[in-house]
């Protein structure tokens, strides 16, 4: 999860060199898109070559007033003849997942385009396009260049687009009987993909070769789009970095009831969902964000504060007019060859390290309430004696007879990490058994170096290993985090390797394609996950990226994953039969699939 501002005094730990942008822009340039003319800037890449950027380009109407909570409305024409896109505009209103600070604007649907060349008529060699979805728990974050400057990716000859989308209650309120189907934030992303498909040609891009990628909750969003036929009209490959639809905080619980509680907290007593909608639509946007924590369910209050996120995606009702997803993801992934695009999916060896920020304050609670270790995707009543017994079993597996304390923080980190790894394991299982036409490339990021900014931001630099989002700044630069490192440092070499792998995948659908001559930047072969019949175990193979080298290997955490696979088979029937909430039907006699009763 990526933040807006410096949490825990962490920014003082992130400097490694000089500022990434030392000079002023050189030349302004104008490009014509369907909505009008936009001014951008010609600038220099780190290798001295020219590139162009266009920032703060609106891709939909401002979602304010009558458009609040609704699906994004197309923008037919800019309000001015020539739109200045030389700098970013406002971010979407959001809540920093670490500092809990609120910032941004309700008018924030903008994207940024970075390209090594501009388009020309009948261009015989349009460039691959990479569209990045930022993280932040789907409640905060932004896609601006202060955190996501893609200059090293652009040097590889690809176009990179970053974007902002609605967050929190504004992006994920769900009240279907009032016409609010949910997932507006994901539909913003889909609208951006549609805009890119229609306009990227004038920036030199190939609309038929688009790769969607994201990190943390951005990867969760990418996963939703991979399962959505409508979204897949606009992209052709996907990369998911430390995030999956099977992560336990990917779905919203009791969405309709949360909307009703929010209206009551505003001092109203609506009797219909239509009245609830009118109350929420008229309320100040910042007030809605301030009240969000007060609508958490009892189960959500029991998780670490970092993951207490009330408004998240939903599986929409089948009659939703512009639904993004209406079926359980396992049903989709279990259909033979339903995934017709190649993907890269990976995890960081210590993804759960960031949870220590909250957990270290309440270590005794894990001894008194071991059920806190149980993912929400397990089909078990959290408040039951059976949950307490399962929690004891999990604690014994990781800690043995030792208590949860400061001396066992590594084991505690393993528990939190495995909630990410479990989501990876589930996807591998389904892909290997059911998806035989599209390639799946898995990776494990375990490199510990100067560009591991996630750990530095969270003031966890003394802990060993690669933490959550530590891989991100081997792909992006950040003037704010000062991500320039000496060419003699190993982090510099790994950045060259990472951007080559990602851009190769965007260009060819293979991170290590066959080349006429060996590529010294990627002197290894990244093999796809093999398919297996139901009678065989799935081999857990991945590209293992470590300080000792990069090579294919069996997932080192296999023993821990087998433990969790056994638990899910015991309580859920099968590994990927995760418990997910659905939207309740409008019919009074229909089953309440989303547990909307109090």
How do residues 262-314 score in pLDDT, each as one tens digit? Answer: 999 999 999 999 999 999 999 999 999 999 999 999 999 998 888 899 999 99
- In the DSSP assignment, the letter for residue 464 is -
Cα gap 43→116, rounded to integer Å: 10
Is the CA virtual torsion 389, 394, 399, 403 positive or negative? negative
Residue 106 contacts residue 62 (beta carbons within 8 Å): yes
**DSSP-assigned beta bridge partners for residue 52:** 42, 115
**Averaged pLDDT, 468-481:** 96
What local confidence, expressed as pLDDT, does residue 580 receive?
84
For the chain, the average pLDDT equals: 91
Asked if residue 245 is part of any domain, the answer here is no
Residues 469 and 339 in one domain: yes
Establish how many alpha carbons lie within 13 A of residue 247's alpha carbon, considering only the half-sphere containing its beta carbon.
32
Residues 126 and 46 in one domain: yes
Query: Is a pLDDT exceeding 90 seen at residue 457?
Result: no
Q: What's this model's pTM, rounded to 2 decimal places?
A: 0.94
Number of domains the chain is built from? 2
Out of 191-195, 238-242, 385-389, 584-588, which region has the weakest mean confidence (pLDDT)? 584-588
pLDDT one-digit tens code per residue, 121-134 = 778 899 999 999 99
Is residue 406 exposed (0-12), middle (13-18) or buried (19+ Cβ within 10 Å)?
Answer: exposed
Cα gap 62→53, rounded to integer Å: 22
**Averaged pLDDT, 544-572:** 96
Query: Is a pLDDT exceeding 70 seen at residue 477?
Result: yes
CA torsion 500-503-508-512 (nearest 10°) is 20
Residues 342 and 425 in one domain: yes
Residues 269 and 348 in one domain: no
- For the chain, percent of residues with pLDDT exceeding 70: 93
Range of the domain at 84: 27-189+250-292
Asked if residue 329 is part of any domain, the answer here is no
Q: How confident is the model at residue 26 (pLDDT cuts 50, 70, 90)?
A: low
Asked if residue 528 is part of any domain, the answer here is yes
Q: Coil, helix or strand for 595?
A: coil
Query: Is a pLDDT exceeding 60 seen at residue 27?
Result: yes
Q: Going by C-beta distance under 8 Å and a sequence separation of 6 or more, which residues neighbour residue 233?
A: 197
Residues 459 and 382 in one domain: yes
Is the CA virtual torsion 134, 138, 142, 147 positive or negative? negative
Out of 107-116, 191-200, 461-470, which region has the weakest mean confidence (pLDDT)? 461-470
Query: Is a pLDDT exceeding 60 seen at residue 589?
Result: no
Q: Going by C-beta distance under 8 Å and a sequence separation of 6 or more, which residues neighbour residue 321?
A: 181
Residues 266 and 342 in one domain: no
What local confidence, expressed as pLDDT, does residue 584 receive?
64
We report the CATH number of the domain holding residue 364 as 3.40.50.1820
Asked if residue 548 is part of any domain, the answer here is yes
DSSP strand pairing (27-33 vs 36-44): antiparallel
What local confidence, expressed as pLDDT, does residue 546 receive?
98
Asked if residue 225 is part of any domain, the answer here is no
Cα gap 530→536, rounded to integer Å: 12
Residue 82 contacts residue 39 (beta carbons within 8 Å): yes
Asked if residue 203 is part of any domain, the answer here is no
Last-in-domain residue among 260, 292, 324? 292
What local confidence, expressed as pLDDT, does residue 588 receive?
41
Residues 94 and 149 in one domain: yes
Q: How confident is the model at residue 582 (pLDDT cuts 50, 70, 90)?
A: low
Residues 284 and 353 in one domain: no
Report the chain's terminal Cα–Cα distance, integer Å.
31
Cα gap 1→306, rounded to integer Å: 10
C-alpha pair distances (Å), 220 with each of 186, 225, 242, 462: 10, 9, 9, 29
Last-in-domain residue among 292, 319, 344? 292
Query: Is a pLDDT exceeding 80 seen at residue 592?
Result: no
Cα gap 435→335, rounded to integer Å: 8
Residue 212 contacts residue 225 (beta carbons within 8 Å): yes
Residues 467 and 405 in one domain: yes
What local confidence, expressed as pLDDT, does residue 330 receive?
95
Query: Is a pLDDT exceeding 80 seen at residue 359?
Result: yes
Asked if residue 265 is part of any domain, the answer here is yes
Residues 558 and 419 in one domain: yes
Residues 535 and 386 in one domain: yes
- In the DSSP assignment, the letter for residue 371 is G
Residues 68 and 161 in one domain: yes
Asked if residue 79 is part of any domain, the answer here is yes
What local confidence, expressed as pLDDT, does residue 567 receive?
96
Cα gap 569→575, rounded to integer Å: 5
């Amino acid at each position: 999860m990526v933040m807006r501002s410096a949490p825990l005094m962490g920014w003082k730990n992130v400097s490694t060199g000089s500022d990434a942008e030392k000079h002023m822009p050189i030349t302004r340039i104008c490009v014509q898109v369907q909505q009008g003319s936009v001014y951008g800037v010609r600038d220099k890449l780190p290798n001295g070559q020219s590139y162009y950027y266009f920032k703060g380009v609106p891709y939909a109407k401002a979602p304010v007033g009558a458009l609040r909570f609704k699906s994004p409305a197309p923008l037919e024409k800019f309000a001015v003849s020539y739109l200045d896109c030389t700098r970013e505009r406002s971010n979407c209103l959001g809540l920093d997942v670490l500092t809990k600070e609120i910032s941004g604007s309700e008018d924030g649907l903008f994207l940024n385009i970075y390209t090594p060349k501009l388009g020309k008529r009948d261009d015989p060699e349009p460039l691959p396009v990479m569209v990045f979805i930022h993280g932040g728990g789907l409640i905060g974050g932004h896609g601006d260049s202060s955190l996501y400057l893609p200059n090293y990716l652009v040097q590889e000859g690809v176009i990179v687009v970053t974007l902002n989308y609605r967050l929190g209650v504004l992006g994920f309120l769900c009240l279907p009987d009032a016409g609010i189907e949910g997932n507006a934030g994901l539909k913003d992303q889909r609208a951006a993909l549609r805009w890119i498909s229609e306009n990227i040609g004038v920036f030199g891009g190939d609309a038929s070769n688009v790769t969607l990628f994201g990190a943390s909750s951005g990867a969760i969003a990418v996963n939703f789009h991979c399962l959505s036929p409508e979204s897949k009209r606009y992209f052709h490959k996907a990369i998911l970095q430390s995030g999956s639809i099977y992560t336990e905080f990917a779905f919203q619980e009791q969405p309709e009831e949360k909307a009703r509680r929010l209206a009551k907290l505003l001092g109203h007593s609506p009797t219909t969902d239509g009245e609830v909608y009118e109350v929420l639509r008229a309320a100040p946007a910042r007030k809605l964000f301030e009240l969000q924590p007060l609508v958490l369910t009892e189960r959500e209050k029991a998780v670490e504060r970092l993951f207490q996120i009330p408004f998240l995606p939903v599986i929409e009702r089948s009659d939703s007019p512009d639904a993004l997803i209406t079926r359980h993801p396992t049903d989709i992934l279990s259909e033979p060859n339903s995934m017709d695009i190649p993907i890269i999916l990976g995890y960081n060896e210590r993804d759960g390290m960031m949870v220590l920020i909250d957990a270290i304050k309440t270590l005794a609670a894990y001894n008194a309430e071991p059920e806190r270790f149980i993912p929400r995707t397990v089909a078990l009543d959290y408040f039951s004696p059976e949950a307490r017994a399962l929690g004891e079993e999990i604690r014994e597996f990781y800690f043995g007879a030792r208590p949860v304390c400061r001396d066992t923080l590594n084991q505690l980190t393993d528990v939190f990490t495995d909630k990410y790894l479990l989501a990876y394991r589930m996807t591998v299982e389904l892909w290997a058994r059911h998806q035989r036409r599209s390639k799946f490339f898995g990776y494990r990021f375990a490199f510990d170096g100067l560009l591991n900014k996630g750990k530095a931001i969270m003031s966890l630099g003394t802990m060993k290993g690669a933490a959550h989002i530590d891989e991100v700044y081997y792909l992006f630069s950040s003037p704010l985090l000062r991500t320039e490192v000496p060419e003699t440092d190993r982090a510099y070499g790994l950045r060259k390797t990472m951007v080559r792998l990602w851009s190769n995948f965007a260009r060819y659908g293979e991170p290590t394609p066959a080349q006429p001559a060996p590529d010294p930047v990627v002197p290894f072969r990244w093999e796809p996950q093999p398919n297996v019949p139901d009678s065989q175990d799935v081999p857990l193979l991945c590209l293992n990226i470590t300080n000792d080298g990069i090579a294919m290997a069996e997932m080192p955490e296999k023993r821990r994953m087998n433990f969790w696979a056994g638990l899910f088979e015991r309580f859920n029937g099968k590994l990927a039969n995760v418990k997910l909430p659905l939207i309740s039907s409008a019919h009074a006699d229909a089953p309440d699939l989303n547990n909307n009763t109090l």
